[in-house]
Amino acid sequence: MTELSKRSTVYFEPAIHQALRMKAATAHISVSDIVNETVCMVRPGRLKRI
């Protein structure tokens, strides 16, 4: 995360949360990094990639 990052709470269904945690662990990145990257892919014209 960057110094300008803001904290938010996101509620996932248990299966989605588990899948995110497993992906994060195998990729050696945080769940937050996965969520940020995914949001940027969905809205590329409106969000700046980190």
Question: Where along the chain do its domains lie?
Answer: 13-50
Q: In the predicted model, is pLDDT for residue 26 greater than 80? A: yes
Residue range 13-38: mean pLDDT, rounded: 96
Instruction: State residue 12's pLDDT score.
Output: 96
Mean pLDDT score across all residues of the chain: 86
Token pair of 35 as six digits: 């969520």
Residue range 28-33: mean pLDDT, rounded: 96
Instruction: State residue 16's pLDDT score.
Output: 97
* Dist CA 37 CA 50 (whole Å): 8
Instruction: State residue 48's pLDDT score.
Output: 58
